[in-house]
Structure 1
Amino acid sequence: MAQLTKLFNFVVLLPSFIIILLLSGCVNSSSRELVSENNLMLAEQQPNSHFDQEVMIVRISQILLVGQLSKEERAGLHFERGVLYDSLGLWALARYDFTHALALQPKMAAVYNYLGLYLLLDEDYEGALEAFNAVFELDPSYEYTHLNRGLNFYYTKRYNLAQQDLETFFQQDQTDPYRALWLYLNEIEFKPNEAKQNLAKRAKGLSREYWGSQIVEYYLGNLSLAQLKQSMEKIEKESPANYPEILTETYFYLAKQKLNTGHIDEAKTLFKLAMANRVYNFVEYRFALFELSRLRDISTEQAVVQQ
């Protein structure tokens, strides 16, 4: 619980999207199918796209202000408002609500999951691990904490431990390509000779209803970047509401690919593009921000050493 005092020290750093159109000069020819000076793939921003969430926040705030509520009801409303704040990228406000909910109801597993994720993004790995372990103490079946704790191990280079959590997460839904992708990204760190072969085996059972299956096929070399782009353009026309999400996902996993092959500048560009569509509650948005922060820290350390 002492770790929760750190929740109010969080500062959300967002890149300046004004310069995104200039980023195309940072990528080589292998990425220009998606990132070109004349055809940068970004979703149009809709000013009223979050209207329903904003209305719900107002209503919950009014109830919390004037309602005669039990501790359990008040905790539930703080949690619901926190989830809404999280979906809007207002993470400091979300953390306040989650912490308040936990003070009222100390056994809310979902709250520990969110707070653990925020601590992970703040690079407080031990605090995050403590929170994720608390989730399993309260609810051993809480599925997504296996992903989050696995990512905590992944980013601290404890790949064998990450594998256990990510494998458990994948086994709970073997049709989900994103679970397969995270397993692959972990496996290439400690058993690279098996990673692609394992991904190919898992790909056979993936659902084509998920856009991530296209990304898996690209990773396996079964789709070219041009073909991936054509599929994205089709979604833009047929399902524009989903277009920002698939852009966020695609740019993130392309960035991870570039990062793993040592193309740091291209990876940075693609991580920024993953954030540009502002799908705040997607794991790909959160960890694009996180990856950029880590890369910035590495650059700063290298500059200090060179001095």
Structure 2
Amino acid sequence: MIANRLKLACIAAVMLLSGCATSTKTMWTHPPMAVPLQPTIQQQIQLARIEQLMKRDDLDNATLAQMYYERGLLNDSLGLRDLARLDFNQSLSLKPDQPDVFNILGVYFTQSAHFDAAYEAFDSTLELSMLHPFAQRNRGIALYYGGRLDLAHEDLLMHYQQNINDPYRVIWLYLVDLERTPEQAQEKLRLRYDASDKQDWGWLIVRMYLADISESDYLKEIASGSENNDQLAERLTEGYFYLAKRYQHEQNYSAALMLYKLTLAGNVYEFVEHRFALLETGRVLSQYQAQQQAMLEAKQSGQAQVN
């Protein structure tokens, strides 16, 4: 049974990638790209320094727990997520009352689609630190991916109300609205955009969703407005991810898949958009398979009626 599912998934992936070659050839022949981020000398020196300090035998549990956490963050920033997760778990075993560690583990659980574990991790974060700056947003995102849209909306709306000038709070609330109340989503997005100060560059993404700017101009503004390669990589990671979400909602799965691949290309491992791009590629594949199955059943039903 598992082998059959894997075979079907591979076939669907090949078909979907074949679709990319035709339907997106014109759009993505020369997409804006940044040089992928590489480990810096500072990161490598810091990692070596922490590992050297951890060899000391006079460290108490609290200090050692902090070092495991800091090494985990470094491994996470380098894309070494399995090593990071081991460090975070070791840190918690030494000092269990760390809201930041529960928060990052909740994100990891969300990435791997272990949603119940993610909810528990974020709940633990908020129990330890009610005013944690990211846990409520991250729990809302986990609830969104877990299909619990009303609870996701509750978390993300409360998070948005704490800072109405943060475009990303508006964007994630909009993505939930698209699935929860699609007939009102665009109007709500417009109202929240109008109520903001529009200062952060991320409002460009909202303008794209509102169709106030064309896709071509959207990408040009990201490329021309970035001051250096690092900033370009970061903005393209966000820009491609949220553009992919639009194509995915429109059921243009080949374009969405290509954009998620571009999201991953910059190696901006710490951004939530990079973190969830792989999760989204799996969702795109599942949605594509469901679409193809529905078309096949409709075709078979039509043939049966003719006969």
Partner of 2:143: 153
Which residue of structure 2 lines up, in the alignment, with residue 276 of structure 1?
265
Deviations 1:46-67 (A, max 9, x none): 54x5221121111101100125
Letter in 1 for 2:275: R
The Cα RMSD (Å) is: 2.4
2:54 partner SS:
helix
Gaps of 5+ in 2: 1-17, 297-307
1:125 pairs with 115, 119, 127, which one?
Answer: 115
* Counterpart for residue 85 of structure 1: 75
1:226 aligns with 2:222: no
Question: For the residues of structure 2 that align with 1:126 and 1:281, how far apart are their CA atoms?
Answer: 23
Specify whether residues 23 and 114 from structure 1 end up closer, same or farther in structure 2 by C-alpha distance, changes over 3 A only.
Answer: farther
Question: Which whole-Å CA distance do the structure 1 matches of 2:196 and 2:57 have between them?
Answer: 47
2:229 is matched with 240
Give 1:1-307 correspondences, 5 Å limit: 25-28=21-24, 32=27, 35=28, 37=29, 39-45=30-36, 47=38, 49-66=39-56, 68-236=58-226, 238-297=227-286
Report SS of the residue matched to 1:290.
helix
Query: How far has the Cα of 1:300 moved from its partner?
Result: 7.0
Larger radius of gyration: 2
Taking structure 1 as the reference length, the TM-score comes to 0.84
Change in CA separation of 1:278 and 1:23 when aligned onto 2, cut-off 3 Å: farther
Deviation at 1:142, TM superposition (A): 1.1
Conserved in 1, the CA contact under 8 Å of 2:140 and 2:155?
yes
The higher-RCO structure (CA 8 Å, 6+ apart) is 2
The total of aligned residue pairs comes to 278
Mapped contact 2:143–2:151 kept (Cα < 8 A): yes
- The 1:261/1:23 distance shift into structure 2, 3 A limit, reads closer
What SS does the aligned partner of 1:65 have?
coil
1:102-138 Cα shifts (integer Å, max 9, x gaps): 0000100111111111111111111111111111111
CA deviations on 1:16-69 (whole Å, 9 max, x unpaired) are: xxxxxx99735448x72xx2x2x221101354x522112111110110012521
The one-letter amino acid paired with 1:43 is A
CA deviation digits over 1:160-219, x for unaligned, max 9? 100011112112221111110000000011111211111111112445443211110111
CA distance in 1, matches of 2:84, 2:128: 21
In 1, are the aligned partners of 2:140 and 2:151 still within 8 Å (CA)?
Answer: yes
Residues 67 and 57 from structure 1, CA distance in 2 versus in 1: closer, same or farther, beyond 3 angstroms? farther
Structure 1 portions without partners, runs of 5+: 1-21
Identity %, equivalent residues: 34
TM-score (norm 2): 0.84
